Amino acid sequence: MGHLTPFLRLAAMLSSRGCLVTLITVKPTVSVAESTHISTFFSTYPHINRLDFEILPCNPPNSTNTDPFFIQFEAISRSVHLLKPLLLSSSPPLSAIFSDFVGSVTVTPLAEHLSIPNYVVSTTSARFSSLFSYLPFLFSENSAKFGGSDNDVQIPGLSPLPLSTIPPPFFNPTLFFTSFAISNAQILPKAKGILLNTFDRFEPDTIAALNNGSVLSSLPPVLPIGPFEPYKFKKGDYLSWVDDQSVGSVVYVSFGSRTAMSKDQIRELGDGLERSGCPFLWVLKSSKVDKEDNEEIEDLLGNSFLERTKNRGIIVKGWVNQEQILAHPAIGGFISHCGWNSVMEAARHGVPVLAWPLHGDQRVNAEVVENAGLGMWVRDWGWGGEKVVKGEEIGEKVREMMSDEKLRNKAMEVGEEARKACQDANGSSVKALMGIIETLRL
């Protein structure tokens, strides 16, 4: 969902600005959330054309992957020959392709072969996008430094990235995750532009370093066009509970669509929320893929917990409309894994974040959140699964976030900047997006 959501948003954004849009989605999907969103999207936006990219079956015999989402990436890569006829079948013919940065190795050479401009869309922060772009060079020239005794990774033009923020698989170039990332990064210079779901005032130095050639002189223009506008999606029942809560009082808790915590950590988190004394809305996941998430809330947290907190919190197993929740005035804080869409949604609504990054780009994103003044981050809570953080500590940090007036004001300022960037015709993100559309009209 972290990749699908920004594409649905971008499709709606382009379409509402007069572009004729065709959305190509992969079939079959991994999660129920993906298929539900895709079908709801097409029924809500009937003027957006649909093309299904039917990929070859998953599970290649020699795959070492166990993560269902990575198995899907592998299947997509093996189905690349099916993409060309699909692109050529589009009527009217395509004038540009907007593709996911983790699909560049597949799409960019094909777009070049078909002489169609290809904009690569990065679904992460400008800071992580810089690390991603620079990855091939870290392994070739600087590998001693990368794996060595220094505590930082130095990417030209950027403040040093602490080694502890780098996703651990990046230290092993032979892993699928890493070699796949490197191949996608190597092809980036061939794109017409790189679009980011961020905005100038949120990551000014990094965006400047990407664009002035400091990070890599070979990169095409990097265009921040975020926070992406939400697309229309249904309201959830839980909103009536939120409506009854006082302004800024509720803690919203979600670790995104791909992250399930251990049962021990789920229980400690429940304990922490109870100790915090704050009302809470918690999206609970106990399995990576939603269709396998069968465990009942009572079995995970116990009936006595549910009894004690029944007037103070609601726990949702399944999908909520997060953007709508974060827009609600009752939400005063967000415990987040710092998936980048979640960060941009919090920024857009000026909601303070308690960062609890667990995998992948999330630690680098958490640093960005902290530096932008949108949130706080307890570094020693570790990567996901490294340790079980105790309820007492969680409760204390939640109280700290909810009562920190300076943080709340700063987060509100971030929200104002975010809205300025994407609402006003003179907003930096709107101008960048309109610039692309104008180029395509020429």
Give the interface with ligand BUP as residue ranges (CB under 6 A).
Answer: 1-3, 5, 254, 256-259, 283, 319-323, 339-342, 345
5 or 130: CB nearest ligand BUP: 5
Residue spans of beta strands (DSSP E) within 91-231: 97-100, 118-122, 152-153, 161-162, 193-196, 222-224
Nearest distance in Å: CB 435, ligand BUP:
25
Count other C-beta atoms under 10 Å from residue 404's C-beta: 16
100 or 268: CB nearest ligand BUP: 100
Report the distance separating Cα 296 and Cα 405, nearest Å: 37
Active site residue 100: yes
Active site residue 3: yes
Amino acid making up residue 271: D
137 or 233: CB nearest ligand BUP: 233
170 or 340: CB nearest ligand BUP: 340
The H-or-E segment that residue 355 falls in is: strand 353-355
DSSP calls for 7-45:
HHHHHHHHHHTT---EEEEEES-SSHHHHHHHHHHHHH-
Closest CA to 135 of 102, 173, 168: 173
Nearest distance in Å: CB 80, ligand BUP:
21
157 or 224: CB nearest ligand BUP: 224
Report the distance separating Cα 134 and Cα 132, nearest Å: 5
Measured at the CA of 73, the angle between CA 67 and CA 74, to 5 degrees, comes to 90
Nearest distance in Å: CB 100, ligand BUP:
10
Q: Are the beta carbons of 321 and 377 closer than 8 angstroms? A: no
45 or 137: CB nearest ligand BUP: 45
Residue with tokens 């560049």, as numbered in its chain: 104
Question: Among the residues of 294-390, which ranges form H helices?
Answer: 297-301, 303-309, 322-327, 340-349, 362-372
Nearest distance in Å: CB 323, ligand BUP:
6
HSE-up of 215 (CA within 13 Å, CB side)? 29
Nearest distance in Å: CB 376, ligand BUP:
18
Q: What is the DSSP-derived secondary structure letter of residue 385?
A: T
127 or 192: CB nearest ligand BUP: 127
Q: Which entry of 100, 200, 290, 361 is annotated as an active-site residue?
A: 100
Measured at the CA of 383, the angle between CA 381 and CA 388, to 5 degrees, comes to 50
Q: What is the DSSP-derived secondary structure letter of residue 223?
A: E
Nearest distance in Å: CB 335, ligand BUP:
13
Measured at the CA of 45, the angle between CA 42 and CA 49, to 5 degrees, comes to 65
Nearest distance in Å: CB 184, ligand BUP:
14
Question: Annotated catalytic sites, by residue?
Answer: 3, 100
